[in-house]
Structure 1
C-alpha cells in the first residue's frame, strides 16, 4: 500500500528489492511472499543448491509499503520491464495498487486502475465513492490489517446463496399450480443483471390431519430415521428413512435429500399409517405448509447485504395473495470463490454437521460437533442445517485451524 509523503526514492526501492531477492533463505518470513515451481522439500532447505543439483525458477510477490512523492507512479510507468538486477534476478512486474492521502483529520485510500476494495472494507471504513457490483475504489480510513486494494476481477466472482422460503396456503390447488410452474420454469431465472435463481425445489408439505398434522416429503427428499421414530412415521421406514411423519416439524426442521441422510435406525419397520378420521366439514379451512428452497447466484455481493436488509425488515406472515402467506424466509448458506475452489459459510443459527466438516475440510474450528465453514461447494443441494438439528458425532476432537483470506 503506498502512502503519499516524502521519503523513499525509486532507486532505493529497486535496491531494497535486490537485497531481498539476494537473501532467499529469509524470504519465507515476509508477508505476501509466494514461491512457485518449487518442490516443498526445496523450500524447506536451509542451504543453497549444490552445483550438481537441479535449479528452479523462483517467483516472488512482494507487498511493499512506500513513503514517497507523487512522482513515484510516473517513475514506475517509465520503467521498461523486466528489470535485470543481476545475472539470475529480475523484476518482471511492478504495480501500485493503493494510494492513501490525508483528507481533513483522516485518511482516504483510493485504488489504482484495475483494483478495488472488497465489500467488507467498503462497509467497515465507509466508502468515499459509490459501491457498485460489490466493490468500491475509495475508503475513509487506513486498514489496520495492512490490507491493500485487490484485483477487481477477483472481487466480482459469483456468490451462491441458499434461501429457505416457508409458504402458508389455504387452497390445495395452489400447490399443484406451484408445482406446474416450477416444472415448466427454465433455470437459471434472471431476477436482475446481477442476480439469478439457479434452482427451486419443494421439499416438504404439511397439512392438518385429525387433531394434528402430517408432513410428507416431495420426490428425492426423506425424513431421517430418528425423526420418523420421534414423531411417528405415517408410512413404512425403508433404507433408514420415511416419507411422512405425524407432526409439524419444529424449529424449521424439514425433509432432507435422501442421499445425504446417514443416520441408523434401531428398527426397520414402523407403525402403520394413522387411520384417524378426517375433520368434519364444519372445521376451519385447511392450511397447508410448504418449505421451498431457493438457490440464488449473483456476481454482486451488495445484493446479499440488500437481501439481508429486506428480509430483516419484512413483517411476517407476508401475503402473496388471498390464499398464500410467506411465514418466514431465512438465508442459510453463502458460497463464494476462494483460490481455485469455493468456501461455503453458514448464516446465524445454521451449521455444517461434523461429517461434512471432515469430508470437505473445515475453514474454522470444529466446535460442538459442527463448523460454520467448509472448503467446497456443497454437492446435491447440501446446505447448512439448523445447529440444534445436527446430531452427528465427530471422529476426531482436535480443532481444524486454517489461515484464510476471504475472497468474494
Structure 2
C-alpha cells in the first residue's frame, strides 16, 4: 500500500456504528377489497444493528496522534455522535499507530489491542510474541488489517504421561538430568506451553536367588528333620532377604568302618562323585545316592532335576553299621533384592533349630 512522502503517521480508528432500521410491510385484506384503509402500510421497529468500521487516517503532524489519543480515550465511553436519524456512532477507539521506519513502517497497537499471530510472523514482530500475539510489527500490512481487540482465551490444562522403557540405567539418569535442568514454561508453539515435567522412575525390582549349603553336626537327625518340617516359608531374615525353601540333601553317618554319606529323597550324588568315591548303593540309571568318604570336599547331594544323569561306574554296596555321629547338609534357597553385601558362610553350625536360625541371620551375600 503506497504512502505519500509527506505522511508521518497512519492511524487506524475503530468506529462502532449503531444503525436503526424499520421494516415496512403491507397488510392485505383479501376478503374486503372495498376498504382502502385495509391496505395501509405498517412500520415495524427492529432491533438496532451494530457495525465495527475501521477508518484509516494519514497524518503529517505527529502531535495530532497524541491529541486524538487523548480525545478518544476521554470521550469514547460517553460518545453519541449522530450521523443520520437512524445511524449514530457509539464508540471510537484508536487501535493502531504506524510510524515511518526508514523505507518501511513500524506499527504499534494501542492499549488493549494486539496483532494476530499470523501478522506477527508475516511482517516480523518487533516485540515479544506472548500468548500467540504481539503488539508491534515491522511493516504496514498490505491486506488492510490492523490491531484487533485483546481477548481472554480459555486455557486448558492437560496432564500427559509419557512412559520411557530403557534397560540402560545411565541413559535414564541422563534423561532425568536433562529434564530437571529445563526452564519452564517451554513453548511448543504459539498455542501450547509445557509448564511442568515431573520425572518418576519406576525400576522393576530384581530378585536374585541363591542356593546355600549349610552343614550341621547333630546326634539326632530325625529331630532336626522334624524341626525343619515345622517351618513355614518364606522365612524373613532381613528386610531384603527371605528363605524361600529349606531341604535336607545329605546325611553322613560315621561308624567303625568309616563314613557313609546318603542322599535324601529326590537328591543324588553327581556322577563324577560316584566315580571318585566308593558307592555304597546303585540307582537304576547307574548313579548313586550313597558314598563312603572321609571327606566330600564340600560336595553334597544335588537335586535330581538339575543333574545330567550320565552312567556312573558300577560298585559294590557296603552295609551300614552302628551310628556314632551324624552330619547333615541342607540346601537353603534364599530370595534377596540386596546384592551389596559380601558372602560370609560359616563352615558348620552345631545344634538344632535355634543354631540354624542364628546362622541364617548372620548370612550376607554378594552378587555372583
Q: What band does the TM-score fall into relative to the shorter chain?
A: 0.3 to 0.5
* Higher fraction of strand: 2
TM value normalised by structure 1: 0.38
* Higher fraction of helix: 1
Relative CO higher for 1 or 2, CA cutoff 8 Å, sep ≥ 6? 1
